[in-house]
Amino acid sequence: MNRRDFLKQCAVTGIAGSISSAASGAGAQLGNKTFNLRLGKRRYNVLFVFVDQWRFCSLGHGPNHDPDVITPNLDKLAKQGAHWSRCYATHPVCTPNRSAVITGRWPWQTGMNQNDLMLPPEERCIAQHFTEAGYKSHYIGKWHMDGNAKPGFVPQGWRRRGFTTFEGFNRGHFYFNSPTFTNDGDMMRDIGLYESGDYEPTLQADLAIDFMRNNQKNPFFCFVSWGPPHGPYTPPAEYDIYNASEMTYRPNVPDDKVGNTRQEGYFGSITALDHEFGRLMKSLKDLDLEDDTLVVFTADHGDMIYSHGLSYKGKPEEESWHIPLLMRLPGKIDSGQITDTLISTADLMPTVMSLAGLDDPTTCTGIDKTQALNGGHMPDASVYGGVQDRWRAVVKGDHKLIVEQIDGNEVATRMYNLSTDPYEMTNIINETSVQTVKDDLWAEYLQWKDKTQDSFPEYPWLAENMY
């Protein structure tokens, strides 16, 4: 089936329209509607869907989006809730940014500055807060914060960082031979719970649906971590529907990379995941949990797919650093809104906790951004990120400043106007007309270094592989 036939099938099944267009102690519970009586706050479930290497523009909606990719279920989510159009990773590499999501802190604060490290035991994590508030907290999928074990069983206890149950593995990409462990450490494919050849995200969606069904009467925090669209870019056959010769490539992809087949597999993997996401949304509806559940969709980092001739992640360019962020919570997040307030993945922990009705955490460097929703206003802020001792970058307003480590020195090498030059084709770092803006961005950069205890341009400290 090609992309055209897939679209026709979607039309038949009614999808085409969407393509185009707890409280323990002080709390009390009524069904799955949980309240904090002391604070007068309603507690909501959370379904947090986290994907690996999905760039901001590879959705069927949004500014400068890839026009060929098919994501009807995520497009529907955006229409029902909020699309944060300017979300950036703290550190666009797997382990570092995953740690930022669950701690609300930058990797150079936690030591998680490269892959295959173990999050230090003293770090306070989001699931700990939910579990202590009486939630059933459950993790499914790739973890990548428990050292270098591959695939690696994450044992019960502190290494699960507050998740009371866990069905997944530490690291690796095994999409048709999943090494998913049960909560007790049995590999599912060894005990008949998974058959090799089946698509791993389908298994993980099944596990999430089972967990939510079994916890309809309890407040829950369910974190689903999918491996695709990270390579090897091999979608299931029914979603291998894209043809390189018929695809549109971003304007910053050089001519010799136009027609590359990597984008075929990348988009196919995205459309396959969109289908699984749709199954999760249908389950919430069927279980009568839609109105009681905050849904969050985001990624650890993006993928260059040859924009600027580059590959994979870890770059300051938009395709790598800028990631999707969608949220839905009926009655609390107005439908169909796009907020251009800058938000970092370090802001997710305090923001999600606030939306769910929990108290503000005191350990986060990131901040609660809920004020930016529903037409609200937040002071003009900036976002900050980087990778090891290679680069740092700041985005504020329309502009991005990139600072690189050159011979041990921090040097501002590139600057872009993302409003007039969204594909970053023209470096304006030396233009005198933007000197004031450049100076302001440099001041922001220095403030962020201080706020996040960043040693750049020196290599940041590293956590251990095992504690």
Per-residue pLDDT of the chain (467 residues; tens, 9 = 90+): 655 555 545 544 444 344 333 333 333 333 444 433 334 468 999 999 999 999 999 999 998 899 999 999 999 999 999 999 999 999 999 999 999 999 999 999 999 999 999 999 999 999 999 999 999 999 999 999 999 999 999 999 999 999 999 999 999 999 999 999 999 999 999 999 999 999 999 999 999 999 999 999 999 999 999 999 999 999 999 999 999 999 999 999 999 999 999 999 999 999 999 999 999 999 999 999 999 999 999 999 999 999 999 999 999 999 999 999 999 999 999 999 999 999 999 999 999 999 999 998 999 999 999 999 999 988 889 999 999 999 999 999 999 999 999 999 999 999 999 999 999 999 999 999 999 999 999 999 999 999 999 999 999 999 999 99
366, 364, 383, 289: which is closest to 328 by C-alpha? 289
**What beta strand segments (E) does 124-255 contain?**
136-142, 165-169, 220-229
Which domains are delineated in the chain? 3-378 (3.40.720.10), 386-451 (3.30.1120.10)
| pTM higher than the cut 0.85 | yes
CA distance linking residue 145 with residue 154, whole number of Å: 9
Instruction: Say if residues 52 and 226 touch (Cβ distance below 8 Å).
Output: yes
The tokens describing 231, both together, are 């390579």
Task: Identify which of 109, 38, 85 has the alpha carbon closest to the alpha carbon of residue 298.
Answer: 85
Choose among 126, 137, 135: nearest CA to 22.
Answer: 135
Q: In 3D, which of 407, 372, 392 has the Cα closest to residue 85?
A: 372
Pairwise CA distance, residues 417 & 397, whole Å: 9
Torsion sign across C-alpha atoms 169, 175, 177, 183: positive
Dist CA 164 CA 171 (whole Å): 19
